[in-house]
Amino acid sequence: MTVVERREIALVDLLDRLLAGGVVITGDITLRIADVDLVRIDLNALISSVNQNVPSPFEESP
Amino acid sequence: MTGLRYVYAVCRPFGTPLQAQLTGVGGDPPRLVPHRDLVAVVSHVPEADFAEESLRAHLEDLDWLTAVARAHQGVIDALTTVTTPLPLRLGTVFRDDSGVRSMIEAREENFLRGLDRLEGRVEWGVKVYLESEPEQAPERPAPQPAAMSGRDYLRRRREQTRSREDQWQRAETFATRLHANLAGFAEDSRLHAPQNPTLSGHRGRNVLNAAYLVPRGESEAFVEQVERTKDDSPGLRVELTGPWAAYSFAGEEAAGEEPAGGRTAGEGTT
């Protein structure tokens, strides 16, 4: 087994934190990101834009 | 109309100026909006991009989201060199500075508590991957496909399935033990949903995606603890990221008050 350390920040690690972490505040105007489980919903969109040929993994599991 | 206010973080006032050339979301330099005992760090962003409907649409656009996420992280990173920021979730937008100030006022207590809790702490990310079956040849045509009988084929399939299940079981056990060790060392921990291999570009299946809150001064020991997991677990890979600003611990819930398993933990350990 190997431990990999300190590489360039991967987008996916960043999104884990920016879309699921941080203090949730409903601003004056924005949609309530807190109400949307973006990490699930929008990853479908992200994945299809990353690679049109790969089906969403969320459909594989019940 | 100078646009909307995109808020990155709330901090206690800090004396050191931010790097002059730092740019935030949309290329706008981060500005400070002080109010009472706190400072919000904001950028001016165009309403065309950040009003509710456009933001919703943009969040489906990977390039746009990437640019915003990187810019947000860049500002938080710069803040961590001068203070301990309390990061807000991506896409927190107000109409103007006075909206930002009202928000600070309404949440002052929570912010101060959160800042105290995170002061001098950093977040480390630890992920465990189950590498794709190393002992099996990749899906290339078998050497003598025609020579294999149906029975041999089925037997081989059964063996492969069993070996995959064993590996999965071993990965689970390993990840559970590692998480228990690290959570014991850290002040707090969170489980994120396992990452999608397509999006992460990593080989193998993500079986643990955890974040640990560690005092800055104990980070070296924490990293050593992770490295000590280099034991006899072939086929598993541990990946460490950080130190991060404490994004995963900035939520309202104080340490220990989180409901069992946490909001995203349901998927994390199955």
Q: What is the pLDDT of residues B138-156, one digit of tens each?
A: 455 555 556 778 888 888 8
Task: Supply the DSSP string of chain B, one letter for each residue.
Answer: ---EEEEEEEE---SSPPPTT---GGGPPPEEEEETTEEEEEEEE-HHHHSHHHHHHHTT-HHHHHHHHHHHHHHHHHHHTTS--EEBPTT-EESSHHHHHHHHHHHHHHHHHHHHHHTTEEEEEEEEEE-S-TTSPPSPPPSSGGG--HHHHHHHHHHHHHHHHHHHHHHHHHHHHHHHHHHHHSSEEEEPPPPPHHHH--SSEEEEEEEEEEEGGGHHHHHHHHHTT-SS-TTEEEEEEEEEPSGGG-SSSPTT-SPTT-SSHHHHT-
Domain spans, chain B: 4-118, 121-268
Residue of B69, B103, B263 lying closest to A15 (CB–CB): B69
Interchain CB contact of A55 with B (< 8 Å) = no
Residue B18: the pLDDT is 87
CA distance B164 to chain A (A): 17
Q: What is the mean pLDDT of residues B206-226?
A: 95
Interface contact flag, A21 B65, Cβ < 8 Å: no
Residue A36: what pLDDT? 41
What's the pLDDT score for residue B234? 79
Looking at per-residue pLDDT, the higher value among B67 and B233 belongs to B67
Per-residue pLDDT reduced to its tens digit, B241-261: 999 999 999 986 544 444 433
- Cβ distance B244 to A25 less than 8 Å, yes or no, reads no
A14 and chain B in contact, CB less than 8 A? yes
- Residues of chain A positioned with their CB less than 8 A from the CB of B251: 21-24
pLDDT of B75 reads 97
Each domain of chain A, given as residue ranges in start order, spans: 11-59
Give the one of A4, A25, A49 whose C-beta lies nearest to B239's C-beta: A4
Look at B251 and A24 and tell me if their CB atoms are within 8 Å. Answer: yes
A3, A12, A19 member nearest B238 (Cβ): A3
Enter the ipTM.
0.78
Residue B7 to residue A23, Cβ atoms within 8 A: no
Query: Taking CB atoms and an 8 Å limit, are B237 and A2 in contact across chains?
Result: yes
- pLDDT for residue B89: 87
Interface membership of B75 toward A (CB under 8 Å): no
Nearest CA in chain B to A10: B200
**Whether B240 and A6 lie within 8 Å, measured CB to CB:** yes
Tell me what pLDDT residue B87 has: 96
Chain A hits for B128, Cβ within 8 Å: none
Higher pLDDT, B218 or B268: B218
Condensed to tens digits (0 to 9), the pLDDT of residues A2-47 reads: 444 445 688 888 888 888 888 888 766 555 544 444 444 445 545 4
- Each residue's pLDDT tens digit, B96-109: 899 999 999 999 99
A14–B73 C-beta distance less than 8 A: yes
% of chain B beyond a pLDDT of 70: 85
Q: Is the pLDDT of residue B42 over 50?
A: yes
Look at A22 and B233 and tell me if their CB atoms are within 8 Å: no
Query: CB A29 to CB B52 under 8 A?
Result: yes
Mean pLDDT estimate for chain B: 84
Please determine, for residue B168, whether its predicted confidence score (pLDDT) is greater than 80. yes
